[in-house]
């Protein structure tokens, strides 16, 4: 019930003395009757305070009373005239200073009359709301029975509440795209907010645009595997009816998800059989037939992805996450491999590695202490899946050596010296660096000779004296002296390729 509706009730005869901005269109919160001079300790915010002004002894009391209730977020005073015969001017002044709405209650109207009127109106509104909710639920269920898709139901609720609805997953997959898919930057911000919010529903502010995030199904489940209903706007400003309609859509979406998950679970044995055939070197015809039964396009180019989520949680979480990311690129099959890691056969699309890297990367804020490592093969066909699987396994092992919460490595990247070093234990790399560059580091520490900086620039300039001098703004003779000193300390001759590689790898291991 709005305050304006209460003022319009002829049987109460309330008179508006002062209205703070937007007060008339604000729903009436809890009604509190008090004659304490400082009632703030008993208020929680949003209350309408009824007072007989018994506390008013001197003009300064009005400031104390209004300041106390305004500090706790109370919005409106309903002041009775019985005690003083009129509403004092100092009370009006205090209300203006603190932005509190002031309403005069006639002498003949008891506070109980006001309270009963609000309670009766609230009961009527609740009954109407429950009736409307029941009608809406029946209509939604009838639509499902008639074969309506989740996209159609989301569009219907969007039109009803005036806000666009989408259903996403934490990897950024659009289950329901709504009026159009969100761009990558918005998806990054939304998924990060959903995974890190203390409670849901939450609001994500992306460049000044608000998005409300409602979990589909139980909000107590693992958010890495959840669906989230994303709605344009801040739900905290919506009417109760609109919020209720959103919760009903969440319930319907949960039913739809359960149906889809059941379908995927039914296919998992076929996927496991297909993977076992690949790992055993079975004939192409058998592998292709099983992949087609599992829903994959075996006649088109594919890539193999191998992943592992290292934590103590259930393996179902890792499998669900991997399946979700695979679905972002099209029909894909995912199953646990013989060594416990997850294996996916994904359709090849241009830019696939970056697409997978971004999708998996969105999960990082929700991983906590867990780590996700994924390896991706190059483009392949069904008759070469075994080799592609080995490529992906090797890339995944390289990814496991990384320190980031999420690491995605392609087979092309395995040739990089960075990944070669990443596969080595930390103590091995530290020992190697100390043996090769230890004297240089010690010399720089004692004399600040900048030998290391000069060495790095020298190798970056392909051992060109002139270019190194220009880069560091030094004389060429200074560069020559420093590099000769490095050679003396390390026992390496930087004109020889083998010694240059030793020093280069030691630098990269720092």
CA 296-297-301 angle, 5° bins: 120
| Residue 447 burial (CB count, 10 A) | 9
pLDDT, position 134:
53
CATH number of 147-256: 3.30.450.40
pLDDT, position 277:
85
Highest CATH level, class, for 3-118: alpha beta
pLDDT, position 269:
83
Q: Contact, 494 vs 503, CB < 8 A? A: yes
CA dihedral for 26, 32, 36, 38, sign (positive or negative)? negative
Query: What residues does each domain of the chain span?
Result: 3-118, 147-256, 265-422, 426-508
Range 419-428 contact pairs with CB under 8 angstroms and sequence separation of 24 or more: 421/505, 421/508, 421/509, 422/398, 423/397, 423/398
The string of DSSP letters for 199-226 reads: SSSEEEEETTEEEEEEESS-TTS-GGG-
Q: Give the Cα separation of 401 and 143 in Å (integer).
A: 50
Beta 15-18 vs 406-410: how paired, if at all? unpaired
Torsions phi, psi for 241 (to 5 deg): -60, -40
Tokens of 157: 């609720």
The domain made up of 426-508 has a fold known as Arc Repressor Mutant, subunit A (1.10.10)
Question: Strand ranges (DSSP E) for 352-405?
Answer: 371-376
Tokens of 204: 């994500």
Q: Which residue has the tokens 């990558």?
A: 184
- Burial (0-12, 13-18, 19+ Cβ within 10 Å), 60: exposed
Q: Give the Cα separation of 66 and 314 in Å (integer).
A: 55
306-320 pLDDT, tens digit per residue, is: 988 877 555 778 888
- The sheet with strand 15-18 has its strands ordered as 15-18, 101-105, 76-80, 48-51, 31-33
pLDDT, position 65:
95
Instruction: For residue 102, list its beta bridge partners.
Output: 18, 77
If we measure between CA atoms, which residue out of 409, 414, 265, 288 comes closest to residue 345? 288
Q: Give the Cα separation of 338 and 277 in Å (integer).
A: 11
Q: Is 26 helix (H, G, I), strand (E, B) or coil?
A: coil
What does the DSSP 8-state code read for residue 380?
B
The string of DSSP letters for 341-408 reads: -EEEEEE--TTHHHHHHHHHHTTGGG-TT-EEEEEE--SB-GGGHHHHHHHHHHHHHHHHT--SSEEE
Q: Give the Cα separation of 101 and 2 in Å (integer).
A: 13
| Residue 142 burial (CB count, 10 A) | 10
Q: Contact, 264 vs 323, CB < 8 A? A: yes
Which CATH superfamily does the domain covering 265-422 fall into?
A: Reverse transcriptase/Diguanylate cyclase domain (3.30.70.270)
pLDDT, position 486:
92
Could you give the C-alpha distances from 242 to 158, 162, 163, 233, 246, in angstroms and in order? 10, 9, 10, 12, 6
Which parts of the chain sit beneath pLDDT 50?
128
pLDDT, position 135:
53
Distance from the first to the final alpha carbon of the chain: 67
Instruction: For residue 228, list its beta bridge partners.
Output: 168, 215
Q: Contact, 437 vs 503, CB < 8 A? A: yes
For residue 368, whether the previous peptide bond is cis, meaning omega lies within 30 degrees of 0, is no
Tokens of 224: 């890495």
Q: Which residue has the tokens 């729903």?
A: 27
- The sheet with strand 302-310 has its strands ordered as 333-336, 342-347, 302-310, 371-376, 406-410
What does the DSSP 8-state code read for residue 255?
H
Is pTM beyond 0.75? Reply is no
Q: Give the Cα separation of 349 and 326 in Å (integer).
A: 12
Q: Give the Cα separation of 458 and 440 in Å (integer).
A: 15
Q: Give the Cα separation of 97 and 18 in Å (integer).
A: 11
């Amino acid at each position: 019930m709005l305050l304006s509706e209460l003022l319009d009730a002829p049987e109460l005869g309330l008179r508006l003395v002062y209205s703070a901005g937007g007060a008339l269109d604000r729903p009436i919160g809890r009604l509190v009757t008090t004659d304490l001079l400082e009632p703030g300790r008993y208020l929680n915010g949003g209350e309408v305070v009824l007072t007989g002004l018994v506390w008013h002894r001197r003009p300064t009391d009005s400031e104390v009373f209004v300041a106390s209730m305004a500090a706790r977020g109370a919005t409106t005073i309903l002041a009775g005239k019985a005690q003083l015969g009129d509403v004092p001017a100092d009370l009006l002044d205090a209300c203006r200073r603190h932005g509190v709405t002031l309403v005069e209650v006639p002498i003949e109207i008891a506070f109980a009359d006001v309270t009963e009127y609000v309670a009766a109106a609230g009961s009527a509104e609740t009954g109407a709301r429950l009736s409307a909710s029941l009608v809406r639920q029946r209509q939604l269920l009838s639509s499902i029975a008639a074969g309506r898709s989740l996209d159609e139901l989301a569009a219907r609720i969007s039109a009803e509440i005036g806000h666009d609805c989408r259903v996403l997953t934490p990897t950024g997959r659009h289950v329901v795209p709504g009026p159009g898919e969100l761009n990558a930057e918005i998806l990054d911000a939304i998924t990060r907010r959903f995974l890190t919010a203390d409670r849901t529903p939450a609001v994500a502010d992306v460049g000044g645009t608000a998005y409300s995030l409602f979990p589909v199904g139980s909000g107590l489940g693992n958010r890495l595997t959840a669906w989230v209903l994303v709605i344009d706007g801040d739900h905290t400003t919506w009417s109760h009816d609109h919020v209720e309609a959103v919760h009903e859509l969440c319930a319907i979406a949960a039913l739809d998800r359960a149906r889809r998950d059941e379908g995927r679970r039914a296919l998992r044995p076929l996927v496991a059989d297909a993977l076992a055939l690949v790992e055993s070197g079975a004939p192409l015809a058998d592998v292709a037939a099983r992949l087609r039964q599992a829903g994959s396009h075996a006649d088109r180019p594919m890539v193999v992805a191998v992943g592992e989520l290292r934590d103590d949680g259930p393996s179902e979480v890792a499998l669900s996450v991997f399946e979700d990311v695979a679905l972002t690129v099209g029909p894909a099959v995912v199953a646990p491999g013989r060594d416990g890691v997850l294996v996916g056969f994904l359709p090849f699309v241009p830019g696939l590695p970056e697409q997978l890297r971004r999708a998996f990367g969105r999960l990082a804020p929700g991983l906590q202490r867990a780590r996700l490592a994924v390896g991706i093969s190059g483009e392949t066909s069904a008759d070469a899946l075994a080799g592609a699987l080995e490529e992906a396994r090797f890339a995944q092992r390289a990814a496991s050596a990384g320190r980031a919460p999420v690491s995605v490595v392609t087979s092309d990247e395995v040739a990089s010296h960075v990944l070669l070093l990443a596969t080595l234990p930390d103590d091995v790399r530290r020992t190697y660096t100390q043996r090769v560059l230890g004297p240089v580091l010690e010399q720089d520490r004692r004399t600040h000779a900048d030998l290391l900086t000069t060495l790095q620039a020298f190798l970056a300039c392909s051992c060109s004296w002139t270019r190194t001098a220009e880069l560091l703004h030094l004389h060429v003779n200074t560069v020559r002296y420093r590099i000769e000193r490095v050679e003396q300390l390390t026992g390496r001759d930087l004109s020889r390729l083998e010694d240059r590689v030793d020093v280069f790898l030691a630098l990269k291991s720092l």
